Chains A and B, each alone.
Chain A
Amino acid sequence: MTVTTHEANVLGEDPFDTANLLDPYPFLGRLRDAGAVSYLESTGSYAVAGYQEVYEVLTDFETYISSGGLGPRDIRKDSGWRPPSILESDPPIHTVMRRALTGVINPGTVRALREPFTPPAVELTEQLARRERFDAITDLAEKYPLRVFPDAVGIPDVGREHLLPYGNMVFNAFGPENYIFKQAFAQGDEHAAAVMRNCQRENLDDTGFGAQIWERVKDGLITEQQATLLVRALLSAGVDTTIFGIGNMLSVLARYPEAWAKLRKNPKMSKFAVDEALRLESPFQKFHRTVAVDTVLGGVHLPAGAKVLVFLGAANRDPRKWGDNADEFDLDRNASGHVAFGMGLHQCVGQPIARLEMEIVLQQLLQRVAAIEPDGAPVPILHNVLRGFESLPVRITAA
Chain B
Amino acid sequence: MTASAGATIDAVVDQVDIVADQVVSLVLRRVDGQPFQPWQAGAHIDVHVGDGLVRQYSLCSSPEELDRLRIGVLHVPDSRGGSKAVHALLAGTPLTISGPRNNFPLRESRRYLFIAGGIGITPLIPMLEAAEAAGKEWTLIYGGRSRKTMAFARQLEDRYGADRVHIMAEDEVGRLDLDQILGMPRAHMLVYACGPGGLLGAVEERCMGWPPGALHTERFVASTLGAAAANAPFEVELARTGTTVTVPNDKTILEAVEEVGVRVLSSCRGGLCGTCETQIISGEPEHRDAVLTEEDREAGEIMLVCVSRAAAGCPRLVLDL
Contact = CB atoms under 8 A, between A and B. Distances in A.
A399 interface: no
Contacts of A341: 267, 273
Contacts of A343: 268
A92 interface: yes
A160 B258 CA distance: 43
A359 B32 CA distance: 61
A334 interface: yes
B209 A110 contact: no
Contacts of B183: 91-92, 95
Interface residues of A, number: 33
B130 to A, nearest CB: 22
Nearest to B268: A347
Contacts of B184: 91-92, 95
A343 B211 CA distance: 8
Give the secondary structure class of B's interface. loop
Nearest to B293: A108
Interface in B288-303: 290-293, 295-296, 302
B248 interface: no
Contact of B277 (A59, A107, A109, A334): A107
Contacts of A95: 183-185, 209-210
A108 B296 contact: yes
B15 interface: no
Given A91-B185, A347-B212, A355-B275, A106 B292 contact: yes
Interface stretch (A60-68, A169-177, A230-238): A60-68
Contacts of A355: 275
Interface string A294-336: 0000000000000000000000000000000000000000101
Contacts of B212: 344, 347
Contacts of B295: 108
Contact of B273 (A61, A271, A351): A351
Given A271-B265, A272-B263, A345-B210, A107 B274 contact: yes
Interface string B180-195: 0001111110000000
Contact of B188 (A60, A272, A336): A60
Contacts of B304: 107
A91 B209 contact: yes
B209 A334 contact: no
A62 B189 CA distance: 11
A272 B293 contact: no
Contacts of B186: 62
Interface string B207-229: 01111100000000000000000
A352 B263 contact: no
B272 interface: yes
Contacts of B296: 107-108
A355 B291 CA distance: 17
Contacts of B274: 106-107, 110, 351-352
A103 B268 CA distance: 17
A106 B269 contact: no
Contact of B209 (A99, A109, A351): A99
A45 to B, nearest CB: 21
- Which of A98, A344, A355 has most chain B Cβ within 10 Å? A344
B149 interface: no
B263 A102 contact: no
B208 A351 contact: no
A184 B205 CA distance: 40
A152 interface: no
Q: Which 3 residue pairs across A and B have the least CB separation, nearest first?
A: A95-B209, A107-B274, A108-B293
Interface of B: 183-188, 205, 208-212, 258, 263, 265-269, 272-275, 277, 290-293, 295-296, 302, 304
27 contacts: A59-B187, A59-B211, A60-B188, A61-B185, A61-B211, A62-B186, A62-B187, A91-B209, A92-B183, A92-B184, A94-B209, A96-B209, A98-B209, A99-B209, A102-B272, A102-B291, A106-B292, A107-B291, A107-B292, A107-B296, A107-B302, A108-B295, A110-B274, A336-B265, A347-B268, A347-B272, A351-B275
Given A94-B209, A102-B208, 10 more contacts: A62-B186, A107-B277, A107-B302, A107-B304, A108-B296, A336-B265, A341-B267, A345-B187, A345-B210, A351-B273
